[in-house]
Structure formats: structure tokens, C-alpha cells
Amino acid sequence: MRVGYLGPPGTFSEEALSRCDLAAGAQRVDYPTIADTIEAVAKREVEMSLVPIENSLEGSVNVTLDMLVHRPGLRIRREVLLPIEQQLLARPGTKLSGVARILSHPQPLGQCTGFLREKLHGVPHEISSSTSEAARQAAEREGCAAIGSRAAAERYGLAVLAESIQDGEGNTTRFVLVAREDEKPSGRDRTSIAFTLDRDRPGGLYEVLGEFAKRHINLSKIESRPNKQALGHYVFFIDFEGHRSEPQGAEAIAGVLERVHALHLLGSYPRG
């Protein structure tokens, strides 16, 4: 079995993959972007792919949400919660005062805003496709530092200039394993859906939420994203506790279907 992840080796995605039971013993295939990683499942290059979907400090990973909606036939089969500690990495011998450019993925840059503002104010940022790719580039470029993991530092021979530079305690990233089918009920599940409303009218979203409230189903997440068609038109994302095949969950989904323009079932899976 082949399982994709956001590479190159040394990313937090690779670390999360090592904690995923369904990926145990699988051949790991790294991809340069999150979109490529998800697309690999749709193209049947791999059976499953693990990608980040949200972070406790920076919020959702938008490209993952967009791909789950706009690339039909994909389902979430697992979630993995990974505590994240960000390190500032550079070539051995580099001092903090010698850092002329900071490389990383947008999410880690956002997670470390406080440190960067206080210790490296005015130093330009450069976006990389992943933390590991940032580390690889920092190893090749004098005066550059990367934000990433200790694993990336070890892989690319970098020194840790500053430890645990993320803002606040409890920094955690939620990863999801994307496949072509979701999981059977485990007794402790979560279901993810997305939907659009047929028109902008008072109470439309309220009515959808009422389908869960009247059945005493807890919602663990709700947010919206532009639907990429017109300004002011949105896709709404909801995570709720329970499995889509259980009576209450199935009834709620049926109720939602009657009140929305389009419904996307993103999958039911064991809670991490």
C-alpha cells in the first residue's frame, strides 16, 4: 500500500503519518504541495494521503478544505492530532543577528508571529511549500533560517538557534487521512460535511444548525470559505460528533439535505 504525505522527508506531516495506524507498514510517498498530496489519491497514485487541516493557533488550512469540496470522491478516514514545537534552524555557526531571511510554510510563520516580531523584527519572510523544504533551502543558503522541526534540523545538518518559538502553549495541528472511502462506526466518531445555501436569506444557516440542535448532536467545528464563484457566496463546513450511519447522524444529514443547495459528505472517522 502507498500513502502520500506533504514532503520532503522531515515534515510534521511525516511525523504525523508515523502515528497513523492505517499507514503502518505502508510505502511513504512525499509530494511537494498539499494540493498534489490530495490529488494523488484522486488520481490513484496512492491509496491514501495525510494532510494538515487545521492548527490550534492559525486555524484551518484552506487548501485542504477547498480540495475536499472541489475534488469529488474523496473522504476523510482518520484524524491525527500532533503537538507542534517550532524551532528556528540555520547553518551551524549562524547567530541570530546574522539571519537575513526567514523561510517556512505560511502556517508556521503565523504560529511564530510573536517571536519573529520581537527577535527578528524587519527580517523578510520567504514562503516555502513545507517546513522541511524550508530547512533544505536554509542548509544551502547563507544567512537564511528556517522554521521547522528537530527532525528537519537533523536531516539537513542544521543547528537550532531558538527552541519552541511558537506563540503560546498547546500548539497542535490536526491532520486528516484522505482516501476514497471513509470508515465504519467505531463508537467514538466524528463526521465532516460541507454545504452551500441556495440563496442569501435570514435564518438559512440557523435552520441547518437546528437539525443538529434538536437531536442533541454536538458540533465541534463550524466555519465558512468562499465558494470561488462570486463574492458573498460561501461553503459552510461542519464537524459533528457521531457517525453518518448512526440513526441520529443519518437523520440530521437528511434534514440538512432538505435545507441546502448542495451537500458534500466529507467522511466519518474515529476521533483522534
Closest CA to 17 of 70, 79, 99: 79
What is the DSSP secondary-structure string of 57-122?
Answer: TTEE-HHHHHHHHHSTT-EEEEEEEEE---EEEE-TT--GGG--EEEE-HHHHHHTHHHHHHHSTT
34-42 and 62-70 helices cross at what angle (nearest 10)? 20
Could you tell me the fold of the domain covering 2-84+171-179?
A: D-Maltodextrin-Binding Protein; domain 2 (3.40.190)
Give residue-wise pLDDT tens across range 10-57. Answer: 999 999 999 999 999 999 999 999 999 999 999 999 999 999 999 999
* Whether CATH 3.90.1150.10 fits 87-162: no
Domain coordinates of the chain in residue numbers? Answer: 2-84+171-179, 87-162, 189-270
Q: What is the Cα 178 distance to its own chain's centre? A: 11
Give residue-wise pLDDT tens across range 177-204. Answer: 999 999 999 999 999 999 999 876 788 9
Calculate the average pLDDT of the chain: 95
Same-fold call for 2-84+171-179 versus 189-270 = no
pLDDT reported for residue 53: 98
Give residue-wise pLDDT tens across range 85-131. Answer: 999 999 999 999 999 999 999 999 999 999 999 999 999 999 999 99
Q: How far apart are CA 188 and CA 224, in angstroms?
A: 25
pLDDT reported for residue 229: 82
Sequence-ordered list of residues with C-beta below 8 angstroms from that of 272, at least 6 positions apart, any chain: 78, 79, 80, 81, 174
pLDDT reported for residue 247: 97
The pLDDT of residue 226 is above 80 = yes
Binning pLDDT at 50, 70 and 90, where does residue 265 land?
very high
| Segment 262-268 mean pLDDT | 97
pTM of the model: 0.90
pLDDT reported for residue 169: 82
CATH class, 189-270 region: alpha beta
Q: How far apart are CA 255 and CA 250, in angstroms?
A: 9
Question: Could you tell me the three cell numbers for 205?
Answer: 444557516
